[in-house]
Chains A and B, each alone.
Chain A
Amino acid sequence: MTSDTAASDAIELHDENVATELSAIVEQLLAEAKKQGAHESSATVSDSISVEVSARERDIENIAYEQGRAFRVTVYVDQREGTAVTSDVTDAAIRNTVEQAMSIARYTEADPCNGLPDPDRLATEFQNLEQSFPQPVDIEQLKLDALLADTTTLDYDPRIMPAHGASASQTETCAVRGNSLGFLNANRYTVYGRSATALARSDSGMQTDYWYDQNCQSECVESADFIGRKAAERAIRRLDPKPIETGTYPVMYDRWTAPSLLSPLLDAISGGTLYRQESYLQDSLNTQVATKSMSLREYPHIHKRIQSRNCDADGVSTTEHTIIEGGVVNTYLLGTYSARRLELTSTGHAGGVTNVHVETEFTPIDELLKEMKRGLLVTSLIGSGTNLVTGDYSCGAAGFWIEDGEIAYPVDNVTIASNLDLMYRGIVGFGDDTQNRGTFKTGSILVDSMTVASN
């Protein structure tokens, strides 16, 4: 054993100066780009540290410590673009990385849409979005959390078998973005997470499910025993599925699967999809594409949310948008490049959306089920069968058969299929059971009719 062991067992998290340190590297990259002849450039440097502990069969299984830093530099020479990325963090790497980006820019073709955002679009005001709540790593506490989540899962029901276990993790990231127009923004955020998987077994076979939660504040993450119980409960309720008859039925996406129903709509009105002519919603601005009762509004600056941000990946300021208003496309989602391609202006969506809320008249979930009467409640989706070009939609699904507005039995191994256009227009209700774990804030969503295929 070496003498320094005890001391270096402690995990070093970012110190106060990390943003200053990374900002200096960004400025070095930009200066080097200028020196090598770039007319414009942008650079990003990120550094993250994370610890994840997993437990399985009531014992600790893995402890993983991760530390990673990466640079990315994009240079523009006469509207020709080159990008280089490296995880080599030595001083020589700065020069080499810029050289590589420059060598690529020498060979790519000029594109008048290339280049940094117009200076007046760059974010100048930076609210403290309160996304960073660092705390020292308490490895013993992470172990206890992972063990508790695993144990709670296993103790929930005799039909629960040891499977993939549970985990607890903590991550700290600092990312600094800058460009040659003088834009410089440092962002720090923390992510605390807990998860559990459960395997349930009965005579008819095995079913797995999982549960997780994450938050930038440690104390806001759902407790380890709650996570463990929830995973077990979800696996148990899927046991002993029954086949159903292939046919056309109402389909309700529960509140956890509802985001995957909505996200293709946003993909279809995103700049990249549109300028490549890969969207079934080409030329859809100001046209009706979904039910009149649905609006989608984006709130980029909600405090203490991992998804929030002051500016997009180009440095363009983010603002509140009503993306879909009463089923009508109110704005496309554009970054700097895609906006120029479409002869529009950036909406601050390089890198995607932030917090998107469904705004509608919500129906109490029990009433919505009653309204549905008979059909499929989807609680889990598998496979990606969405074709944005045509709108064709076909996805593997599992959930519950609804009879007289109540859960009758679990259903597994079915596909649900339709066309996105019909589906969004065919939404007939939104449950009041809203959740807000990821990008979307939404309740369950009822679609009037889809083809359900079963064996």
Chain B
Amino acid sequence: MSDSTAQSRQALLEQAELTDQDLALNVSDMMNRQIDDAELFIQHNRSEAWALEDGKVKDGSFSVSQGVGVRAITGEKTGFAHTNELNERALRKACTMSASIADRGGNRRAETPEAVPFRRLYAGGDPTAGVTNDDKVRFLSELDHFTRSLDPRIVEVSISIRGSTDRVLVYGSDGTNQFDDRPLVNCRIHVIAKDGDRTESGTEGSGGRYPLDTFFVDDFATTKDMAREAVRMAVTKLDSVPAPAGEMPVVLGPGWAGVLLHEAVGHGLEGDCERKHTSCFAGKIGEKVASELCTVVDDATLEHRRGSLSIDDEGTPGQRTVLIEDGILRGFMWDKHNAILTGNQSTGNGRRESFASLTIPRMTNTFMLAGESDPEDIVRSVTKGVYCSAFSGGQVDPSSGRFVFATTEAYLIEDGKLTSPIHGCMLTGYPWDVMNSITMVGSDFALDPGVGTCGKQGQGVPVGVGQPTIKVEQITVGGTSA
């Protein structure tokens, strides 16, 4: 642990009015109640947000969320208590509550994980520190003027920036004693374009685990690109025609379209689904689940990415896990609890929204690796179909596998060429059908710009997705033009 990390850890403990001895003593008292595993998660999250609307920087907010979550595990049972009161008395009470799950006594102690060296993938500390409030306000106003100047049809612009620092300390009876200091920033530009009686919106955002001033450098170069993109999207859609309905070939553009993988295969490969046999992928390791062109990985170890984690919320170092290799199912994503119960090892995918939520297996950055096709050839190969480049999100029922995702920018493909933009519509399918009907994978791999939040069991966590241009031979397009 570097000096600054050690200092940051110490500061967190002091803020919580706790000492290392308090942690050790409470965990050992819990273990005396014959449970398998005890874990403390102490968190302090500080975030600030600024928003411009109607030409004014009218909204600003600052928030602090802090507390401790205590987990006691006995076999398949979990006792959990959390409080946002931070002191020894409150910690002791939470520990006692949580350990009361141990009604029948346990004896399967969790093994001490091997101490794996890991890399810090982002600098700790407050990511907003390098920027004054004056700078933030000036940035929003200038960007507003710039965005409005791009096209006379833009009638509304809203822009927000947000920065947070999340410090977490994980202390467990299995010897885990890890600390992480996670920055996260994002910027979002949303515009409304109007022409005659048509109104359309466009949105572009980006973010990650880096300093907020990244958006400010070079005279706001990257954020101006975002503004151009939001405006282009809104204005393009002013000419959109109804989307087609029915099953047809669909080409998904690079980057954010990886939300397809996130929904179609990602959730079904989270370890709780495997343990509980609630996924359509359960028990299918080694079997072909996708076209041989598909290799899908979950990778927490990319520097500065929104979904990256130096350590997960159980103190396990972030990892790169191959989920599907050349179409064959290779692995699931595990947290400690589900891994222990199934004889697996945690893959560093144990995540929680905050101290107030139970850890469950979650994705980090999930993406499909590049293939060999020229993206232009992929579009050229379609006689009649749809090209989708932007999405608002998706959802999945992991047991049936049925998933949907909503496009926000899409075009008709006619005779190998993109023609009219179409209204937003839902795409839906089953992973088997869709993943096996991927017939072309492009060479243009891209990660999303860092805007994804994944929701599961009511908990939201930041994630990344990515993919090259791909062609899906058959998927149901939910337009109105039957």
* Interface of A toward B, CB cutoff 8 Å: 1-2, 4-5, 8-9, 11, 56-57, 59-70, 81-89, 93, 97, 100-101, 103-109, 111, 114, 161-164, 199, 205-208, 246-248, 275-278, 280, 341, 382-385, 387, 389-390, 392, 394-396, 398, 412-419, 451-455
The answer on a CB contact under 8 Å between B406 and A384 is yes
Q: What's the Cα separation between A87 and B354 when bound, in Å?
A: 12
If A8-B93, A114-B58 touch, does A383 touch B405 (CB 8 Å cutoff)? Answer: yes
Q: Is residue B27 within 8 Å, beta carbon to beta carbon, of the partner chain?
A: no
A-B pairs under 8 A by CB, number: 286
Q: What's the Cα separation between A320 and B278 when bound, in Å?
A: 45
The residue from A67, A392, A453 contacting B477, defined by CB atoms under 8 A apart: A453
Q: What's the Cα separation between A280 and B137 when bound, in Å?
A: 31
Q: What's the Cα separation between A396 and B403 when bound, in Å?
A: 8
The answer on a CB contact under 8 Å between B476 and A415 is yes
* Interface of B toward A, CB cutoff 8 Å: 29, 32-33, 48, 50, 53-54, 56-67, 76-86, 92-94, 96-98, 100-101, 133-134, 136-137, 155-156, 158, 192, 194, 199-201, 243, 245-247, 276-278, 280, 356, 358, 392-397, 399-402, 404-406, 423-430, 433, 474, 476-482
The residue from A65, A278, A453 contacting B201, defined by CB atoms under 8 A apart: A278
Q: What's the Cα separation between A419 and B425 when bound, in Å?
A: 11
Minimum Cβ distance to chain A for residue B392 (Å): 8
The residue from A84, A205, A384, A390 contacting B63, defined by CB atoms under 8 A apart: A84
The answer on a CB contact under 8 Å between A394 and B56 is no
The answer on a CB contact under 8 Å between B399 and A199 is yes
If A84-B62, A206-B400, A248-B482 touch, does A62 touch B77 (CB 8 Å cutoff)? Answer: yes
The answer on a CB contact under 8 Å between B476 and A247 is no
Q: What's the Cα separation between A246 and B61 when bound, in Å?
A: 48
The answer on a CB contact under 8 Å between A108 and B101 is no
Q: What's the Cα separation between A387 and B198 when bound, in Å?
A: 13
Minimum Cβ distance to chain A for residue B405 (Å): 7
Residues of A within 8 A of B401 (CB): 205
The answer on a CB contact under 8 Å between A451 and B479 is yes
**Residue in chain B with minimal CB distance to A49:** B83
The answer on a CB contact under 8 Å between B29 and A1 is yes
- Given A109-B57, A162-B277, output 10 extra A-B contacts at Cβ < 8 Å: A61-B77, A63-B77, A68-B356, A107-B136, A163-B277, A164-B276, A385-B478, A415-B428, A417-B426, A419-B480
The answer on a CB contact under 8 Å between B479 and A417 is yes
The answer on a CB contact under 8 Å between B58 and A276 is no
The residue from B29, B62, B429 contacting A85, defined by CB atoms under 8 A apart: B62
The answer on a CB contact under 8 Å between A389 and B474 is no
Minimum Cβ distance to chain A for residue B182 (Å): 18
The answer on a CB contact under 8 Å between B278 and A276 is no
The answer on a CB contact under 8 Å between B402 and A418 is no
The answer on a CB contact under 8 Å between A276 and B80 is no
Residues of B within 8 A of A161 (CB): 277
Q: What's the Cα separation between A390 and B425 when bound, in Å?
A: 12
Minimum Cβ distance to chain B for residue A123 (Å): 25
The residue from B57, B93, B200, B479 contacting A107, defined by CB atoms under 8 A apart: B57
Residues of B within 8 A of A395 (CB): 404, 426, 478
The residue from B29, B54, B192 contacting A389, defined by CB atoms under 8 A apart: B192
The answer on a CB contact under 8 Å between A205 and B280 is yes
The answer on a CB contact under 8 Å between B80 and A62 is yes
Minimum Cβ distance to chain A for residue B379 (Å): 22
Q: What's the Cα separation between A8 and B100 when bound, in Å?
A: 10
Which has the most chain A C-beta neighbours within 10 Å: B65, B358, B404, B474? Answer: B404
**Residue in chain B with minimal CB distance to A60:** B77
The answer on a CB contact under 8 Å between B33 and A1 is yes
**Residue in chain A with minimal CB distance to B32:** A1
If A105-B60, A415-B425, A415-B478 touch, does A382 touch B137 (CB 8 Å cutoff)? Answer: no
If A208-B397, A208-B399, A389-B199 touch, does A81 touch B84 (CB 8 Å cutoff)? Answer: no
If A208-B397, A276-B192 touch, does A383 touch B156 (CB 8 Å cutoff)? Answer: no
Q: What's the Cα separation between A84 and B476 when bound, in Å?
A: 45
The answer on a CB contact under 8 Å between B406 and A63 is no
The residue from A11, A88, A276, A384 contacting B156, defined by CB atoms under 8 A apart: A276
The answer on a CB contact under 8 Å between B400 and A412 is yes
8 cross-chain CB contacts under 8 A: A2-B92, A64-B79, A87-B84, A104-B60, A246-B247, A276-B156, A384-B393, A455-B429
Residues of A within 8 A of B358 (CB): 62, 64
Q: What's the Cα separation between A89 and B86 when bound, in Å?
A: 9
The answer on a CB contact under 8 Å between B62 and A89 is no
If A9-B100, A111-B56 touch, does A383 touch B394 (CB 8 Å cutoff)? Answer: yes
**Residue in chain B with minimal CB distance to A205:** B400
The answer on a CB contact under 8 Å between A451 and B482 is yes
The answer on a CB contact under 8 Å between B200 and A103 is no
The answer on a CB contact under 8 Å between A382 and B133 is no
Minimum Cβ distance to chain A for residue B191 (Å): 11
Minimum Cβ distance to chain B for residue A172 (Å): 15
If A163-B278, A390-B423 touch, does A88 touch B428 (CB 8 Å cutoff)? Answer: no
The answer on a CB contact under 8 Å between A206 and B399 is yes
The answer on a CB contact under 8 Å between A246 and B199 is no
The answer on a CB contact under 8 Å between B62 and A65 is no
Residues of A within 8 A of B476 (CB): 413-415, 453-455
The answer on a CB contact under 8 Å between B53 and A104 is no
If A276-B158, A385-B426 touch, does A59 touch B399 (CB 8 Å cutoff)? Answer: no
**Residue in chain A with minimal CB distance to B430:** A413
**Residue in chain A with minimal CB distance to B47:** A85
**Residue in chain B with minimal CB distance to A341:** B54
Q: What's the Cα separation between A389 and B67 when bound, in Å?
A: 40
The answer on a CB contact under 8 Å between B67 and A87 is yes
Which has the most chain B C-beta neighbours within 10 Å: A59, A387, A394, A452? Answer: A394
The answer on a CB contact under 8 Å between A277 and B424 is no
The answer on a CB contact under 8 Å between B480 and A451 is yes
The answer on a CB contact under 8 Å between B58 and A111 is yes
Minimum Cβ distance to chain B for residue A236 (Å): 13
Residues of A within 8 A of B86 (CB): 88
Residues of B within 8 A of A61 (CB): 76-78
Q: Top 10 closest A-B pairs, CB basis?
A: A415-B478, A396-B404, A104-B60, A383-B404, A85-B63, A453-B245, A246-B246, A87-B84, A100-B62, A65-B81
